[in-house]
Amino acid sequence: MSVFAFTICNFSECASSPCLNGGTCVDKVNKFLCVCAKGWAGETCQSPVPTFFITRTNTSAGSASAASTLPAATARLHVRPSRCTTVQGTTHCTCEQGYTISGRDSYSCTDIDECEVFHNGPAGKLCLHKCINTAGGYRCSCPAGYNVTNGRSCKDIDECATRQNNCTKDQMCVNTYGGFQCVQVDCPKIPHATYVKTSPTRCERNPCPLDNRACSQTPNFFSYHYLAVVSNLSAPRVMFRISAQRKLGDMLRFTLLGGGQARRHFIVQRSDHQTGQLMLVSPVQGPVTLEAEVEMSELEKRVQLGRYLTKITMFVSQYEF
Ligand SMILES: [Ca+2]
Ligand SMILES: [Ca+2]
Residue-wise pLDDT for 128-183, tens only, equals 999 999 999 999 999 999 999 999 999 999 999 998 999 999 999 999 999 999 99
CA dihedral 127, 129, 134, 138 (to 10 degrees): -10
User: What whole-number percentage of the chain has pLDDT above 90?
Assistant: 55
Per-residue pLDDT tens for 12-24?
668 888 887 778 8
Q: Is 235:281 a contact under the CB 8 Å cutoff?
A: yes
Query: Which ligand is closest in space to the CA of residue 63?
Result: 1
The rounded Cα 152 to chain-centroid distance in angstroms is: 9
How far is 272 from 187, CA to CA, in rounded Å?
30
Residue 76: pLDDT band with limits 50, 70, 90: low
Which ligand lies nearest to the CA atom of residue 142 in the structure?
2
Residues whose beta carbons lie less than 5 angstroms from ion ligand 1: 111, 133, 138
For ligand 2, a single-atom ion, which residues have Cβ within 5 Å?
156, 175
Ligand nearest to the CA of 79: 1
The full 3-state SS of 112-156, as one line of letters, equals CCHHHHCCEECCEECCCCEEEEECCEEEEECCCCEEEECCCEEEE
pLDDT band at 92 (very low <50, low <70, confident <90, very high): confident
Q: Which range, 66-70, 90-94, 152-156, 302-306, is most confident?
A: 152-156
Q: What is the Å distance from ligand 2's center to 275 Cα?
A: 31
Q: How far is the CA of 279 from the centre of ligand 2 (A)?
A: 24
Q: Give mean pLDDT, residues 173-201.
A: 96
SS3 278: strand
Fold of 185-316: Immunoglobulin-like (2.60.40)
Ligand 2 centroid–CA 174 distance in Å is 8
- Span from the CA of 181 to the centroid of ligand 2 (angstroms): 9
Q: Are 257 and 219 in contact (CB under 8 A)?
A: no
pLDDT tens for 211-268 read 899 999 999 999 999 999 999 999 999 999 998 877 768 889 999 997 778 889 999 9
Q: Which of 75, 83, 53 lies closest to 134 in space, CA to CA? A: 75
For ligand 1, the distance from its centroid to the CA atom of residue 139, given in whole angstroms, is: 9
Q: How far is the CA of 161 from the centre of ligand 2 (A)?
A: 9
Rounded to the nearest whole angstrom, what is the distance from the C-alpha of residue 226 to the centroid of ligand 1? 42
Does residue 51 register a pLDDT over 50? Answer: no
Residue 264 near residue 316, CB atoms below 8 Å: no
Does position 4 have pLDDT exceeding 60, yes or no?
Answer: no
How much distance in Å is there from the Cα of 29 to the middle of ligand 1?
43
- CA of 319 from ligand 2 middle (Å) equals 12
Assess whether pLDDT exceeds 60 at residue 38.
yes
Tell me, in angstroms, the distance from the centre of ligand 1 to residue 98's CA: 6
Question: Ligand 2 mean position to 290 CA, how many Å?
Answer: 18
Task: Average the pLDDT over each of 25-34, 266-275, 288-297 and give the range with the smallest value.
Answer: 25-34
Distance 314 CA to ligand 1 centre (A): 40
Domain ranges of the chain: 185-316
Count of all residues that appear for the chain in the document: 321
Give the predicted TM-score (pTM) of the model.
0.71
